Structure 1
């Protein structure tokens, strides 16, 4: 029998520490965030009740319990807008660019997911790694096998995670053992939608791998699913690698560009998330903005595979929604902190490789944390449920220890502002800084003891 999610803690609980969350995009608003040095996040029945100064809220609300995270930073849970759970065990595979990397590492690894027991084992490790790194929502690729999605959703449900995932659709240009057909991919995806979409906090994504591995008939089938189930997601890749872009042009010569391939089959709309977008043209950014589709910015993967530098500033100019993706296993860490650090380096490199470096600005710490929280929620169309501490939102949040390592503690002595402290966390931080992860108000317990982290003290109030 599948494990069922545990109920949220009863009563009103006050989580006390330094509290930060975002109200808007710092690139567009001067009042984009709310920060309380000594703050309280009030949670009741798994939902956010209120957030504000500790002295004020403890007096006005008189919570049943106070959980003291003093000296720590309380943030909404991180949101990973693009990650491949089947690639968990091949993370850090050496030395190839995208297309050869797929053939050498990815496809053989994904072939193992024909075995439901293997899928279940990887799904357990994957979900534990998300939570260990403070990620409470993710948009996830499965494999071509329906059982890979069953395993992932079953594991996510046992932790009450908000997870969006789907079966890969792939009917050409891949090994025979990973191919489906336009008809079978439609039927299997439809069955998975009916089984999992909207069950608890689980949501489904129609998932063609990328244009080169789907025939026009299969992309048409994907579009048909989106018409029949308008509240599901669409998740795929676009313009990651120059060789890939050229390949798409040869396969779809009538299309005006890579994105146009998807547009022709009705795949671009709100709740469509395109991973990478490194080599998109101006008209493609404009098209994404017009359709309401979003981009998952995957800096760690783009650097690791030598794919190129995503132009975040251009996405901002076109007002395209952007979230952050770890893209494990092309990405080399589940940590959104490390991903933010790599994103900063990408924006710095843009200054070095542009004719107008003075027009370029680095990624600020505030924008980084926005992308990992509310920005990711907006990219998924879930900002009314997650990504901030707006009253009524689901109480997914994390507690970060800014002094988790001796070096960070030493460096923090010189960090005098909130932005400086945030930047140190994203530059030097990783899962060691995640002291606690809460899902719908319930603290996740790691499968292995982490005694080096101080446990929160619970006091009656």
Structure 2
């Protein structure tokens, strides 16, 4: 066996399905050249000679996946949380994002963001930048140094934003193409994702041009969908040819169906939109904290799971004031209880097992075979020391995991590995 093959020993926890959580006390998970070789109660004979990293009684879980966050909003955490989405964008977000035209500000702010992300439980993320090509490259350079696996998008906007944050349609297309050309061959861990901010800020002409770029470069796509009732009504006015919000993306070829797509929120998706999400294999990034903070509502995640949609979790920094995916999991459970009590009593609340799946394998699927310790999956792992979360009674592994999700933070992470490499 080569030096890139080793085993991690500890209390192994991972998901195979939303309902199946595997818990193995004092088990082993094998890493072979960045890929999981499987989980074992005892090491098989063929692995007896490899290095064993023994973490004792600590928990070993897959790295967590954040399917939706805005890096330039890091400095906005905790601001304007009494506003709804569109007012919050105009009052806080757009003025802050305009600052990234200044290289010095971008380096300082993105440096803070990447340092905190590196220390967090997140190992992979889909990230919005701003319209600024140079600042987006700064962000990608900093993320590359962390060795996290991230998808980053230069944002596209050509309408319904302040003049200082809008590009002309052709300029937005050209700057996106220049950004893609500039980054060719420069990154091992960081990759581009096409990023129309949302339909209200992108004209039909720009969406068509972005669709052409997607087809030429085979890029994944990230955007927002049906987050807020006012936003949905606005899209109906702006795009009368589209029967519903998602169809406006579909008309440009930016809604799954061979174009890997993640849409944040889907709080108020109509039945025909849900059907198209399912048909086209679009991923939903559920962002519970942001949806509470900006009064957007509660996404019907139980319905989405029952209908077989691809669902993961997002922090939506800074609509969500925390980038912790532990917090995203506990929030997802809590808002699902409110949905069950106040909206639909047939929609049972999400379980601990289900939200753990969403934060690992569910969101990880957007990156490929990611988010589990099953053989053949990328070896992304967190080693967690929960000893500082005091308790007077003996606890099982499931109870310890739940307490980490509700009470843990970055200080509990003692080792973080992505594709077998320690971060």
- TM-score, scaled relative to structure 1: 0.86
2:47 to 56, 61, 64: 61
Partners of 1:76 and 1:398 within 8 A in 2 = yes
Partners of 1:366 and 1:419 within 8 A in 2 = no
Partners of 1:79 and 1:138 within 8 A in 2 = yes
1:226 to 214, 222, 226: 214
Counterpart position of 1:459: none
The reply to whether residue 216 of structure 1 matches residue 195 of structure 2 is: no
Counterpart position of 2:309: 320
Counterpart position of 1:425: 404
**3-state SS in 1 of match to 2:411:** helix
The reply to whether residue 22 of structure 1 matches residue 27 of structure 2 is: no
TM-fit CA distance, 1:348:
0.0
Counterpart position of 2:374: 390
Give the unaligned 5+ runs of structure 1: 1-8, 27-31, 445-461
Counterpart position of 1:207: 195
Counterpart position of 2:329: 340
Counterpart position of 1:188: 175
> CA 1:52–1:122 in structure 2 vs 1: closer, same or farther (change >3 Å)?
farther
> CA 1:196–1:372 in structure 2 vs 1: closer, same or farther (change >3 Å)?
farther
2:76 to 85, 90, 94: 90
TM-fit CA distance, 1:56:
2.9
TM-fit CA distance, 1:180:
1.0
Counterpart position of 2:244: 257
**3-state SS in 2 of match to 1:265:** coil
Matches within 5 A, 1:9-408: 10-26=3-19, 32-53=20-41, 55-57=42-44, 60-94=46-80, 95-196=82-183, 199-230=187-218, 232-269=219-256, 270-354=259-343, 356-357=344-345, 359-378=346-365, 380=366, 382-384=367-369, 386-406=370-390
> CA 1:120–1:440 in structure 2 vs 1: closer, same or farther (change >3 Å)?
farther
Q: How many correspondences in the alignment?
A: 418
Give the unaligned 5+ runs of structure 2: none
Deviation per residue, 1:199-230 (Å, 9 max, x gap): 42322111111111111111111111111122
> CA 1:296–1:197 in structure 2 vs 1: closer, same or farther (change >3 Å)?
farther
- 1: CA distance, partners of 2:120 / 2:146: 15
Which aligned segments of 4 or more residues in structure 1 are displaced greater than 4 angstroms?
none
> CA 1:68–1:216 in structure 2 vs 1: closer, same or farther (change >3 Å)?
same
TM-fit CA distance, 1:177:
1.2
**3-state SS in 2 of match to 1:56:** coil
- TM-score, scaled relative to structure 2: 0.93
Deviation per residue, 1:359-418 (Å, 9 max, x gap): 22121111111111110012x1x232x212233433221112233333xx34xx3644x4
**3-state SS in 2 of match to 1:50:** strand
Q: CA RMSD in A?
A: 1.9
Deviation per residue, 1:316-336 (Å, 9 max, x gap): 232110110000011011110
Partners of 1:48 and 1:391 within 8 A in 2 = yes
